[in-house]
Amino acid sequence: MTTGMSKPVFGLILGGVLGILDGLTAWFTPEVRAQVIGIVIGSTFKGMIAGVCAGWFAKKVHSLPLGLLFGLAVGMLLAFLIAAMPQPSGKHYYFEIMLPGSLVGAAVGYATQKYAAPPRANAISK
């Protein structure tokens, strides 16, 4: 099954959708429930960035294991950058941010390798 769209675009859309779900996991941390809307918005952008990166990688490198690892690494890096910023109380939420962020990256890395359209050959070569 292929989607018919380019790998970066597929990654962008899937990353955005999964980013929303990632942000909604903040509801399970009672201390930040009041900030859940901002967290969902930030997680959506984080997922979109990871998705575009994974899609670009999938366009260049055709390897399911490498795509999954690349997506995992990008998702983990982006989540770490967010988790490293302390809350006003000074607390960091590394596990709560990095686990779902890494999973989003891995899922997008896998999906862009497996389901996005393969590169097309030139229509007519003269």
Tell me what pLDDT residue 2 has: 63
* Section 62-67 average pLDDT: 95
Q: Which of 2-16, 31-45, 46-60 has the lowest mean pLDDT?
A: 2-16
Q: Which residue has the higher pLDDT, 86 or 57?
A: 57
Q: Three-state SS across the chain?
A: CCCCCCHHHHHHHHHHHHHHHHHHHHHHCHHHHHHHHHHHHHHHHHHHHHHHHHHHHHHHCCCHHHHHHHHHHHHHHHHHHHHCCCCCCCCCCHHHHHHHHHHHHHHHHHHHHHCCCCCCCCCCCC
